[in-house]
Amino acid sequence: MDAQSRGQADEIDPADQWVLNPQTGNYELRLDHSTGQPPSSRPRGAGRRGAPERGARRTAAPRDGAARTASEGRPPGPRTETPEPRSETPRPRSEETGTRAERPRADVPGQRSRRAGKGPAADTSPAAAGRRKRKAKKSGKKKALVWTGGAVAFVLVAGSVGAYAYYQHLNGNIAKIDIGSAGSGGFKKDQAINILVIGTDKRTGAGNEGYGDAGSVGHADTNLLFHVSKDRTNATVLSIPRDLITDIPDCETKTAEGTKLIPGTPQTRFNSSLGQDGRDPGCTMRTVKELTGLTVDHFMMADFNAVKTLSTAVGGVKVCVAKDVDDPKSHLKLPKGEHIIQGEQALAFVRTRHAFGNESDLSRIETQQQFLSSMIRQMKSGDTLTNPQKLFSLAEAATKALTVDTGIGSINKLSDLAKELAKVDAKNITFTTLPVVDNPTEVVKATVVVNEAKAKPLFAMMRSDTSLTEVKQKEKAAKSKQEALLKGPKAAPEDVRVDVYNGGGPQGSAQETLAWLQNEEGVPRSTNKGNSPGADLPRTTLEYAPNQADQARALADMMGLPAAALKPGTEDAEGLEAMTLTLGADFKGAGVPITGPAKAPEGVQKVEADKQVCAK
């Protein structure tokens, strides 16, 4: 680089000077390794900062001088000194000090002379001139490479300090709440994951106090249970209406004075599971478990401001409206067609209740699902993942916007969780809404209750990781073959004979199942055989003989056993021989289906995350 400031840029190739040392990981000042080391054409003492005067005593340059310069993360800057007259007998010089070295380094070849006619035995033929011309054309690319390499080296060295500071900054952004024992104890990489995303009606943030109830403590207004399958092939996002009438269980909350027990409230709105009577998100998590049978691992909570900042951080979210919209209550005004919205406009879109559908909260939920689906597509797009500015903005906005439980209250833990969630392809992420019906006790319909006939199969599908979309055709074909075992006549409950073993379920599972079969399902010919010998089983199994198939189908129907649990034998049973039911680790309790149906019940609302849908 000194040569360029001395008018000798044609003689020294910049790409020869800065290279990556694979042993140290640093960029080092080296010369080209592909040639020998002819004498340097540089005059003694010329152009080097701090070079000794003529006649001064010269000392040997340190052998690792070039490496030390590079390890500091900065290449030498341009020099402005006036060069001295060219010497007839130049001697090798140190690259760092400009002093004459005692001997040239054996492992650092010299710089090559590139100027025509210079150096020993210069080739002045037309062919040589052509080669020099072609090399000159390449020098621009090499200069670009060396400057890029130098910049990367600087960023890596300087960034080692800056990255840690920024990491600490992001950690400081995260708000955390200790929910005690409300969660599962933490998500695991080899198990299904359940995250509860809560959108509150708290009007925090600039400009949000004017939306409705400015003094709200923050109720659970938007609620999404994000269930990710164990194998990460699919995910189901269940929206729970805020106006659902349900039972809120007792819950413990952490306060400055210690742990406080808040009594449960039967038959009340779901949104009062947060904020009301001092309830924290742990109370909402317990309510979700009571409702669905799914244990929630963690929660993430956001307020009005989060929608504005996150939509802006990703560069806007694409939405589509099937008609012109002008809603004075939410302030949403959009002409028919597709739009990129962010900030205030994005908040208006997810808040509008009167622009689409039947102007109910259920219609608003569907609109929010369409918005979130589009945001997921945008976050997973190359436009976001390859844009450093968007990624930094997203990290900044997300850590400031979200409140989480202490179990994921750090950048490292949130990053681990994000990596697990990112494994799911967007085409296999499905949004759905808890099936409900109008509250029959109300004259003026303001609340809803669970539609048990449709909700129970849906909950069972989520517990068994059954996707609401097609994941793989091969899996579908295998399921069809297994499900054929469940088709056919079923024996009467009093004719079912079964021995029950506990092979991996909770303690007492065999006795619990026996009591349930005999007292609730009318299966008197059932026996508790205690613990199964051998290792625990991950899955419940039912072994039966060919002539017991009708009994097996009846028991499978009672217990919600999947077709995969049925293990038919090859020889018929003799006399009063019983089938063998072995409860595995997937057993959740007597009367709780082991798995759900292969398909969602008819009429269950769905929004697929990989598809753009126009709000109507």
Over the stretch 467-481, which tens digit does the pLDDT of each residue have?
888 665 444 544 554
Encoding tokens for residue 128? 């040589």
Residue 72 is predicted with a pLDDT of: 42
**Quick one: angle between helices 304-313 and 344-351, nearest 10?**
130
Residue 255 is predicted with a pLDDT of: 84
pLDDT band at 456 (very low <50, low <70, confident <90, very high): confident
Please give the Cα distance from 468 to 575 (Å, whole number): 43
Between 47-56, 287-296, 462-471, the lowest mean confidence (pLDDT) is in 47-56
The pTM assigned to this predicted structure is 0.64
Counting every residue, how long is the chain? 616
Over the stretch 248-297, which tens digit does the pLDDT of each residue have?
999 999 888 889 999 999 999 999 999 999 999 999 999 999 999 899 99
286-311 average pLDDT score: 93
Over the stretch 166-193, which tens digit does the pLDDT of each residue have?
888 889 999 999 999 998 989 998 899 9
pLDDT at 428 over 70: yes
Return the CATH number of 193-468, one of 3.40.50.2300, 3.40.50.1000, 3.40.190.10, 3.40.630.190.
3.40.630.190
What are the start and end residues of each CATH 3.30.70 domain in the chain?
476-583
Q: Which H/E stretch holds residue 500?
A: strand 498-502
Q: Which H/E stretch holds residue 345?
A: helix 344-351
Alpha-carbon distances, residue 291 vs 2, 98, 245, 505 (angstroms)? 74, 78, 11, 22
Give the CA radius of gyration of the chain: 36
Beta strand spans in 24-100 (E): 27-29
Encoding tokens for residue 612? 């753009």
Q: What is the mean pLDDT of the chain?
A: 78
Over the stretch 496-520, which tens digit does the pLDDT of each residue have?
999 999 999 999 999 999 999 999 9
CA geometry: angle at 409 spanning 407 and 281, to 5°? 65
Q: Are strands 579-583 and 235-239 parallel, antiparallel or unpaired?
A: unpaired
Greater confidence (138 vs 433) lies with 433
What are the start and end residues of each CATH 3.40.630.190 domain in the chain?
193-468
pLDDT at 29 over 90: no
Over the stretch 589-598, which tens digit does the pLDDT of each residue have?
888 877 767 7
pLDDT at 122 over 60: no
Please give the Cα distance from 332 to 343 (Å, whole number): 12
Phi-psi region of 310 (alpha: psi -120 to 50; beta: other; left: phi over 0): alpha
Beta bridge partners of 318: 340
Please give the Cα distance from 568 to 561 (Å, whole number): 14
The architecture (CATH level 2) of 476-583 comes to 2-Layer Sandwich (3.30)
Greater confidence (569 vs 10) lies with 569
pLDDT at 52 over 80: no
Q: Which residue has the tokens 């006790």?
A: 441
